[in-house]
Amino acid sequence: MEYTTPQTLVRAGRFDSPLEEAVKKFEEPLTKVPMGLGNTVKYATFKESEESYLLMVSQQKDRQTTSFGYNVLLTVTSYSDSRNQQVADKFENETGIDLSIDVPEPLKRQFAMMGLSFQVFEKNPKEAMAIFRGV
């Protein structure tokens, strides 16, 4: 379904190896994001296309799982639920990270704000990625 406001899909999983190993397998190059919470490793990419999307994935640095059983979170934001599902499935298949753990509703609501970031990337993709890289 297409929307006029960005939609964010959130998936959670467990990955016991360093996230860096997995993201290297993804077809789209992911940029390490040095900003944010100090206890996570984050990677992101903004894909400009007819159906642009913003993908972010993070993992606890110590790889410890939460009480819900996950240590990896993936968000995909675009104007299309089907595009988000397609990108998330592709990420899961290419990286080998199983992202099938139920995400708590409060966390889904928290990540709904990714739509604002997506809109910034749409307007200024190069500048936004530079900020993500800490440049």
Q: What mean pLDDT do residues 87-107 have? A: 95
Proportion of the chain in helix, strand, coil states, percent, rounded to 5: 35, 35, 35
Q: Would you call 134 helix, strand, or coil by DSSP?
A: coil
Q: Residue 40 sits in a domain of what CATH number?
A: 3.30.310
> Which of 31-35, 45-49, 123-127, 130-134 has the weakest average pLDDT?
130-134
44-93 per-position pLDDT tens digit: 999 998 899 999 999 988 998 988 999 999 999 999 999 999 999 999 99
pLDDT value, residue 36: 63
What is the Cα–Cα distance from 2 to 25, expressed in whole angstroms?
29
Q: Find all residues with CB under 8 Å of 119, minimum gap 6, and list them.
A: 6
Amino acid found at 94: E
With a CB cutoff of 8 Å and minimum separation 6, the contacts of 101 are 12, 13, 14, 68, 69, 70
pLDDT at 53: 96
Number of domains in the chain: 1
- With a CB cutoff of 8 Å and minimum separation 6, the contacts of 51 are 78, 79, 80, 83
Residue range(s) defining the domain that contains residue 7: 2-133
What's the mean pLDDT in 9-27?
95
Residue with tokens 């397998």: 25
* pLDDT mean over 103-131: 87
pLDDT for res 135: 61
Task: Give the pLDDT confidence score for residue 37 in this predicted structure.
Answer: 60
